[in-house]
Amino acid sequence: MAIRGASIEFREVRKTYGDFVALESFSMDVAPGEFMTLLGPSGSGKTTALNSLAGFVDINQGDILIDGVSIARMPTEKRNIGMVFQNYSLFPHRNVLANVAFPLEMRGVAKSEILNRSMKALEMVRLDGLAKRMPHELSGGQKQRVAFARAVVFEPRVLLMDEPLGALDLKLREALQIEIKQYQREIGCTVIYVTHDQGEALALSDRLAVMEKGAIRQLGTPEDLYDRPNSRFVAEFIGSNNILKIRGQTEEGVLVEGLGVVRIPAMSGHAGGFVALRPEHIRRSSGENWPVTVRQAVFFGDAVRYVVEAKDGTTFSFVESRQPGTEISAPGASIGIAFDEDNITLLPA
């Protein structure tokens, strides 16, 4: 099964529900075959953007195009878009094969071709041996694989996925993340994926858009957004971060709460702003350049997460990989920390 993905364009899309603005000037281009994730908190507009592309909601202004053709006023059934939902939406009275075959039946495909294409879709998700089982006989992961097979069996060029792994436990979710990316590469369709789980977004996406209040706050590769957040909102939403206030600027660098003078170039517009320093970029040091007091130590098996307090009372965290025989510092212990100043990100006020 090989599908050529379609390009997608959102052009200044606006969607309101009464006085509530769900999307405001929403613009985004998605390349053919790209895996794009919409990431944001509840109410940020990510599902509204997905549903407007699917045709489940009508937009108030703007346009949406697939391969350069406007679909904003096109009926849902004419858009030829695959959908995978969190709740699977399988027909309980149909077996696995019949569930996967349903989209082909609705499109009037010949019976012989329906069987062939449905079995190929099940082979792709490694469920061809369960074709005769009923949905209630399947595990959560198997149900999600059936839902994926059903969504791609009619070879849509665009596949929309709305928090498809949200109902699964952590280990199964992580396993299916790898499989979803593998399936998408095999079939080549364009995917728009909605989630509020930033770890999931980082693992799956070619690019991701962080949304807040109906607008995109930053769009880029996972590496771009993780390493170079453009705002405090993005820095706090993507991964763990220490957000520390800039107290002023000196000839030597920037005066940061908890850290003192940090030798990073002072930038106009950042006075009164913030810096971001990720916990994994801080390490224990035998020197006393930045002495701190341990306030909390949380054991995670392969690592220990420390909450420490600087001389000025500022608290922040860092993560230390645990080696055999490594002693965990108890609350109240005095230790030194260090970090590479290149890993500090300046954020606007």
Residue 252, pLDDT score: 77
Which helix (H) or strand (E) segment holds residue 142: the answer is helix 140-152
Mean pLDDT of 205-227: 95
Superfamily of domain 241-347 in CATH is Nucleic acid-binding proteins (2.40.50.140)
Token output for 317: 């965290």
- Predicted confidence (pLDDT) at residue 258 exceeds the cutoff of 70: yes
- Predicted confidence (pLDDT) at residue 308 exceeds the cutoff of 80: yes
Distance CA 158, CA 176 (A): 20
Amino acid letter, residue 226: Y
Residue 175's pLDDT band, with cuts at 50, 70 and 90, is: confident
- Hey, what CATH topology would domain 8-227 get? Rossmann fold (3.40.50)
Nearest by Cα to 345 from 252, 250, 238: 238
Distance CA 54, CA 161 (A): 11
Give domain limits for the chain: 8-227, 241-347
Residues in the chain: 349
Lowest mean pLDDT among 58-62, 185-189, 266-270, 288-292: 266-270
Residue 2, pLDDT score: 67
204-209 contacts, C-beta under 8 A, 24 or more apart? 204/35, 204/37, 204/177, 204/180, 205/35, 205/36, 205/37, 206/34, 206/35, 206/36, 207/34, 207/35, 207/36, 207/37, 208/36, 208/37, 208/38, 208/39, 209/28, 209/36, 209/37, 209/38, 209/39
Residue 288, pLDDT score: 52
Calculate what percentage of the chain has a pLDDT beyond 90.
58
Neighbours of 180 (CB within 10 A): 25
- Predicted confidence (pLDDT) at residue 172 exceeds the cutoff of 70: yes
Token output for 94: 């149909």
CB 46 within 8 A of CB 40: yes
- Predicted confidence (pLDDT) at residue 126 exceeds the cutoff of 80: yes
Ranges of beta strands (E only) in the chain are 8-17, 20-30, 35-39, 61-66, 69-70, 81-85, 158-162, 190-195, 207-212, 215-220, 242-249, 254-256, 260-262, 274-277, 282-285, 290-299, 303-309, 315-321, 334-339, 345-347
* pLDDT tens profile 71-103: 999 999 889 899 988 777 899 999 999 999 999
Distances (CA, A) of 98 to 49, 93, 128, 154, 161: 31, 9, 12, 14, 21
Average pLDDT value for the chain: 89
